[in-house]
Amino acid sequence: MLVSARNKFWNIVVYSFDVLLCGLVMYYSGPFSDPPFGVGSPFYRYAFSAIIAAAFMYRYTGGLLAAACIDMFVLLGLFVHAPGWHTYVAHTPIDIGGSLIDAPLLAILVAYVSSLLESYTQSKMRERENVRTQKYLVRVGETLLKSARDRQELLQSSLLPLQKGWHFGRIMIALIDTSEIVTGEAGQGAQHHAHAEIVSCVESTMDDSLPASSRIYIEQVLRSGQTLTLFDVSQQGTAMRYGIARLYLPLRRAGHIQIVLGVESKRSIPFGSQQESFLTIAGAQLLVALENIRLAEQTIELAERAERGRIAREIHDGIAQLTYMLSLQAETAHVQAQHIAADSPDATVIAPLAERLEKLVLVSKQALWESRNYMFSLKPLMHGTMVLAQMLQSQLNEFTAISNITTQFVVEGADDRAARGAQVWAHEAQIGTALFRIMQEALMNAYKHAEATNIIVTLRYTSEQIEVEICDDGKGMTSAGVEATEDAQHMLSGYGMRGMYERAQELGGVLTISPGCPNGVVVHACIPYSSAGR
């Protein structure tokens, strides 16, 4: 008998019964053989089948135990004859002694041959598995090279090669964003904690009977930071058994979890080191591809910044300088024309020229303001240690120098970055850029359309949000709600209120435009910290 069941205790019962049956047949077959007992008996040789079967199945331990049991039946036959036996006389020492020696030798020989066959079989299986693993790792590598442009496309295209590598019933790849948050008071009392969040998760399923609970295990891996191996056993009948094997593997870069690879399958045994090694190697390739994408994006961003900086310098050194000189010359000519008109006996001749020069001064200042705005749009707004208040103050000073409109800048509250945490810092530039553009547009509207003489800009920090309020004393709005008509939107400049609304809404903020008191316009924008990452 060389078959086995899934239950090891059932196997022991079956093979024990096999040894008992062969021993009893040999014991009771004495009257039917010549010699009636011993190595010459064919029934004694028949008992060897139990030794051979046990040695093949259980190697040395099982074979020697079966040989000992058969030898016990031999000794029993020598001293206690079975019913129907005649008196047994040993013909030779070999007949008796050989029966007690050849059974253990046979067990050892068969167990050795069986071990060699098993070793050869496992070697061939490992070789086939290595070849298959290498083949699918090559396919994974090819897939990563072809899809190394977009993260989502990369993860999606990697699913099938990984799944076929070990015929997984389900495979999941979760992209993790790990950032550091700061809690407590700023300074020495602040505590730094790592926060991991699932950015995206893709999966492929070949076995629809598997329960959909993968995200729970991914979150468990993120909390523990350790590999998760599970095996949920299900019973079918008495002999058949299967289970759902799960393996969730975190892969790190720079000490932080970047991706989590999860696989599930219906198997008779849990996932082992081979599956974990396969996922580790494939995951390492995936990490390299993700890092290449990040570096490529960073290179593109740096190139874009460098190009924007170059264009901004060209505008500053070229168009902006020429426009500034044109503005000065036009303003000087306008002043001279006014003096000539005042000293001339016929002022009506000079008045049209003075009026045209006044319009030229206005147009040249507007052109200078537009060129300066383009420079601010091209170069990074917040960089290094610059904070939002400094950025807005710099823009307001620039506006005052060009427009000759009196301005005032007020800051309420404190910019307590440490209390808000590092996760908000990453989006501080986005909030600052949006508020900067909104203020820039509001100042342009006040200068070009409102005929304002005084502007007050208030930057307000609260525990939940940042607010910017721009108040002017211009001629105000013709209706209580500027947003009521499409014409009103376009009236406030080429950009329009719609762009101001969109900038605030993209970051979860609110923008309102209302009449001032007693006149003018009030532009109020507020953006919360918590929605900056949406």
Determine how many CB atoms are found less than 10 A away from the CB of residue 346: 8
Work out the average pLDDT over 190-211. Answer: 77
Report pLDDT for 486.
Answer: 40
> CA triplet 77, 75, 45: central angle to 5 degrees?
70
Crossing angle (nearest 10°) for helices 93-146 and 273-315 = 10
Report pLDDT for 384.
Answer: 46
Backbone angles phi, psi at 500, to 5 degrees: -65, -45
**Which tokens sit at 532?**
């900056």
The fraction of the chain above a pLDDT of 70, given in percent, is 73
pLDDT by residue (tens digit) across 314-326? 777 778 777 878 8
Contact, 324 vs 368, CB < 8 A?
yes
Report pLDDT for 508.
Answer: 87
Going 351 to 354 to 360 to 365, the CA torsion angle's sign is negative
Where in 481-528 does DSSP place strands (E)?
510-515, 521-528
pLDDT by residue (tens digit) across 237-276? 444 467 899 999 999 888 889 999 999 998 888 998 888 8
Determine how many CB atoms are found less than 10 A away from the CB of residue 92: 12
For residues 144 and 138, what is the distance between their CA atoms, to the nearest angstrom?
A: 10
Report pLDDT for 263.
Answer: 92
Determine how many CB atoms are found less than 10 A away from the CB of residue 454: 14
**Which tokens sit at 76?**
């029993």
Decide: residue 437, CB within 10 A, 0-12 exposed, 13-18 middle, 19+ buried: buried
For tokens 């009636």, name the residue. 36
* pTM strictly above 0.85: no
Work out the average pLDDT over 193-216. Answer: 81
Work out the average pLDDT over 228-238. Answer: 71
Q: Which residue has the higher pLDDT, 121 or 239?
A: 121
Buried b vs exposed e over 265-277: b needs ≥16 C-beta within 10 Å?
beeeebbeeebbe
The CATH number of 151-271 is: 3.30.450
The fraction of the chain above a pLDDT of 90, given in percent, is 10
Write the CA distances from 499 to 179, 221, 503, integer angstroms: 31, 43, 6
Work out the average pLDDT over 407-422. Answer: 73
Give me the DSSP letters along 259-326.
EEEEEEEEESS---HHHHHHHHHHHHHHHHHHHHHHHHHHHHHHHHHHHHHHHHHHHIIIIIHHHHHH
Q: What is the DSSP letter of 7?
A: -
Closest CA to 221 of 211, 230, 234, 233: 230
pLDDT by residue (tens digit) across 357-388? 888 887 887 787 777 777 766 665 555 455 78
**Which tokens sit at 335?**
């002043």
Report pLDDT for 248.
Answer: 94
How many distinct helices (H) and strands (E) make up the chain? 14, 10
For residues 406 and 455, what is the distance between their CA atoms, to the nearest angstrom?
A: 6
Contact, 114 vs 73, CB < 8 A?
no
Report pLDDT for 214.
Answer: 79
Q: What is the DSSP letter of 186?
A: S
Give the least confident one: 140-154, 314-328, 406-420. Answer: 140-154
Backbone angles phi, psi at 255, to 5 degrees: 85, 0
**Which tokens sit at 187?**
């300074």
> CA triplet 257, 261, 265: central angle to 5 degrees?
155
Contact, 460 vs 469, CB < 8 A?
yes
Backbone angles phi, psi at 205, to 5 degrees: -125, 125
Q: Which amino acid is at 486?
A: E
* Helix, strand, coil shares, percent, the chain, to 5: 60, 20, 20
Binning pLDDT at 50, 70 and 90, where does residue 31 land? low
Domain 384-534 is classified in which CATH homologous superfamily?
Histidine kinase-like ATPase, C-terminal domain (3.30.565.10)
| 37 pLDDT higher than 50 | yes
Closest CA to 272 of 129, 137, 152: 129
Binning pLDDT at 50, 70 and 90, where does residue 493 land? very low
For residues 207 and 213, what is the distance between their CA atoms, to the nearest angstrom?
A: 14
Report pLDDT for 532.
Answer: 43
DSSP H stretches of helix in 147-258: 151-166, 214-224
Report pLDDT for 483.
Answer: 41
Q: How far is CA 138 from the centre of its chain?
A: 23
Element (H, E) at 344: none
